């Protein structure tokens, strides 16, 4: 694989950008190599500056459910841009997207657009704190909710329920207000609520965990969270930044039959442009300024280009056949991959739902964050590097999810299976 140009650019980038990147995972540290500079994306494929071509399973880490550069989305962005890129005033596309999302996700009665998932979750907990008059939040180990201070918290030592900072620059004071429970472990949540229930404003959870690799919720886990929060007067926040419009048209909540109080969205609803949103029950959302007393604002929020890309994307996805197709094609891929891994004698687990999947190098099932930590990340790194040589672009970390898009064809699946087989041959 040629990579002179990427290497050259990365060397310069490191001089003027921390780690040479705008977001840490892009530096490829977890897979022990330097990143490739991408020149363009088309459908299911991306092309780097050295002319290498890859079948892409990253999809910009979630937004690109239609694949790269979908003609309808590009057309919508182009048309919007011709009328100006930002007004700092309401526009019709914004209303159109709001209505589409509110009717697709019934628990969202009112919605506020922001510019990233991080802003959405950060604003949602501010709102939850205002609404309940309580200070603490509960999050789960291994779930990611963006990089606001309140979420960069990991579990403290055994006896403490409150967390400790996961990043320099996050204050201990902040960590005291974030309690960390274990995903798929209701008992860990009950314990926290027994001790601190009256101070808990909200529980925030990824209804399907997609930031520790793919970990599916046990059937009773989300139901249990709904019950505990309702009983205790805390709000339940579903962080559907990844799962929104990924598994079905709407939220995973509709698929699971659970109604959260607030939902955060991002990724797919922006069609590849920077967007986030939070929404939920009317009485809660009415507390957001200017209707209410919870301040939250944004110069570029509801941006016409981003709204146009979101509307164009959701319009296509309204044809639910796409979800059936994604299900079938990803099921085929996962099934074929299982055979290949078995033929090569590797211990592995593949978790999958809809068009999301993760390949874990481990002997056991992966149902908790503890299971995730047992995976052989060195082996994943080795697998990753060989697979890249074979023309398949997986996420550069064991803990990120692979995404299949509507642009992936059966030929791509077949080519991917062959590439994985060759990568495993080299590892044997």
Ligand X SMILES: *Cc1c(COP(=O)(O)O)cnc(C)c1O
Among 41, 207, 260, 266, binds ligand X (CB under 6 A): 266
Tokens for 371, please give them.
């299971």
d(CA 367, CA 370): 8
Choose the binding region for ligand X from 26-34, 140-148, 220-228, 348-356 (rule: CB under 6 A).
Answer: 140-148
Give the count of residues interacting with ligand X (CB under 6 A).
15
Residues 179-208 that bind ligand X (CB under 6 A): 206
Task: Give the DSSP letter string of 54-121.
Answer: EEES-GGGTT-TT-BT-HHHHHHHHHHHHT-S--SS--HHHHHHHHHHHHHSTT-SEEEEESSHHHHH
337 touching ligand X, by CB under 6 A: no
Give the shortest CB-24-to-ligand X separation in angstroms: 11
Give backbone dihedrals phi and psi of 141, rounded to 5 degrees, phi first: -60, 130
Q: What are phi and psi of 138, to 5 degrees?
A: -115, 130
Q: Of residues 345-374, which lie at the interface with ligand X (CB under 6 A)? A: none
Binding-residue pattern over the window 107 to 136 for ligand X, x denoting contact by CB under 6 A: ---------xxx--x---------------
- Binding flag, residue 144, ligand X (CB under 6 A): yes
3-state secondary structure 317-370: HCCCHHHHHHHHHHHHHHHHHHHHHHHCCCCCEEEEECCEEEEECCCCCCCCHH
- The single residue of 93, 139, 267, 367 carrying the catalytic annotation is 267
CB of 228 to ligand X, least distance (A): 21
Indicate whether 145 belongs to the interface with ligand X (CB under 6 A): yes
The correct pick among 41, 142, 146, 272 for binding ligand X (CB under 6 A) is: 146
Structure tokens at 274: 């920077």
Q: Helical H runs in 197-281?
A: 219-232, 252-256
Smallest gap from residue 231 Cβ to ligand X (A)? 25
User: Alpha-carbon distance 402 to 60, whole Å?
Assistant: 10
Nearer to ligand X, 241 or 420 (CB): 241
Residues 234-263 that bind ligand X (CB under 6 A): 239, 241-242
Q: How far is the CB of 357 from ligand X (least distance, A)?
A: 15
Provide the minimum distance between the beta carbon of 324 and ligand X in the complex, in angstroms, as a whole number. Answer: 24
Identified catalytic residue from 48, 56, 185, 239:
239
Q: Would residue 93 show up in a list of annotated catalytic residues for this protein?
A: no
| CA separation for the pair 239, 251 (Å, rounded) | 10
Asked about 144 being catalytic, the answer comes back as yes
Does 222 engage in binding with ligand X (CB under 6 A)? no
* Residue/partner pairs of 406-412 with CB below 8 Å, 24 or more apart: 406/65, 406/66, 406/67, 406/316, 406/322, 406/325, 406/326, 407/43, 407/44, 407/66, 407/67, 407/68, 407/70, 408/44, 408/55, 408/67, 408/329, 409/44, 410/329, 410/332, 412/44, 412/55
Annotated active-site residue 223? The verdict is no
Q: Are the C-beta atoms of 268 and 406 separated by less than 8 Å?
A: no
Q: CB of residue 425 vs ligand X: minimum separation in angstroms? A: 33
Span of 142-150, 282-290, 333-341, 406-414 interacting with ligand X by CB under 6 A: 142-150
Question: What would the two tokens of residue 235 be?
Answer: 């709000």
x/- site string to ligand X, residues 22 to 61, per CB under 6 A?
Answer: ----------------------------------------
Q: Which of residues 271-290 bind ligand X (CB under 6 A)?
A: 276
Catalytic residue among 57, 144, 323, 348, which? 144
Q: Shortest Cβ distance from residue 163 to ligand X (Å)?
A: 17
Which residues are catalytically annotated? 144, 239, 267
- Applying CB under 6 A, the residues found at the interface with ligand X are 116-118, 121, 144-146, 206, 210-211, 239, 241-242, 266, 276
């Amino acid at each position: 694989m040629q990579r002179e140009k990427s290497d050259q650019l990365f060397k310069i980038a490191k001089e003027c950008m921390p780690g040479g990147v705008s977001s840490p995972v892009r530096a490829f540290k977890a897979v022990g190599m330097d990143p490739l500079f991408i020149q363009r994306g088309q459908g299911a494929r991306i092309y780097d500056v050295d002319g290498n071509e890859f079948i892409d399973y990253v999809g910009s880490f979630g937004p690109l459910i239609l694949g790269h550069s979908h003609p309808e989305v590009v057309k919508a962005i182009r048309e919007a841009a011709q009328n100006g890129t930002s007004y700092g005033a309401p526009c019709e596309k914004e209303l159109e997207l709001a209505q589409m999302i509110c009717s697709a996700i019934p628990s969202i009665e009112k919605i506020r657009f922001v510019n990233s998932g991080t802003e959405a979750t950060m604003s949602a907990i501010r709102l939850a704190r205002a609404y309940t008059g309580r200070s603490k939040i509960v999050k789960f180990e291994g779930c990611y909710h963006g990089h606001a201070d309140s979420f960069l918290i990991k579990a403290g030592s055994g006896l403490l329920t409150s967390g400790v900072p996961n990043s320099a620059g996050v204050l201990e004071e902040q960590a005291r207000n974030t309690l960390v429970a274990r995903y798929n472990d209701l008992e860990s949540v009950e314990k926290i609520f027994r001790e601190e229930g009256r101070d808990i404003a909200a529980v925030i959870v990824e209804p399907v965990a997609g930031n520790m690799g793919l970990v599916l919720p046990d059937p009773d886990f989300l139901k249990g969270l709904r019950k505990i929060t309702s009983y205790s007067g805390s709000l339940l926040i579903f962080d559907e930044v990844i799962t929104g419009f990924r598994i079905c048209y709407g939220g995973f909540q509709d698929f699971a039959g659970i109604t959260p109080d607030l939902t955060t969205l991002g990724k797919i609803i922006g069609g590849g442009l920077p967007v986030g949103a939070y929404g939920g029950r009317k009485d809660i959302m009415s507390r957001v300024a200017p209707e209410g007393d919870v301040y939250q604002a944004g110069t570029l929020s509801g941006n016409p280009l981003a709204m146009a890309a979101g509307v164009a994307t959701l319009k296509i996805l309204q044809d639910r056949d796409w979800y059936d197709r994604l299900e079938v094609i990803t099921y085929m891929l996962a099934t074929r991959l299982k055979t290949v891994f078995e033929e090569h004698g590797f211990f592995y687990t593949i978790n999958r739902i809809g068009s999301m999947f993760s390949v874990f190098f481990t002997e056991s099932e992966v149902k908790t964050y503890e299971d995730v930590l047992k995976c052989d990340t060195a082996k994943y790194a080795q697998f990753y590097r060989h697979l890249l040589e074979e023309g398949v672009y997986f996420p550069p970390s064991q803990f990120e999810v692979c995404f299949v898009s509507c642009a992936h064809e059966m030929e791509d699946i077949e080519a991917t299976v062959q590439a994985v087989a060759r990568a495993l041959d080299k590892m044997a």
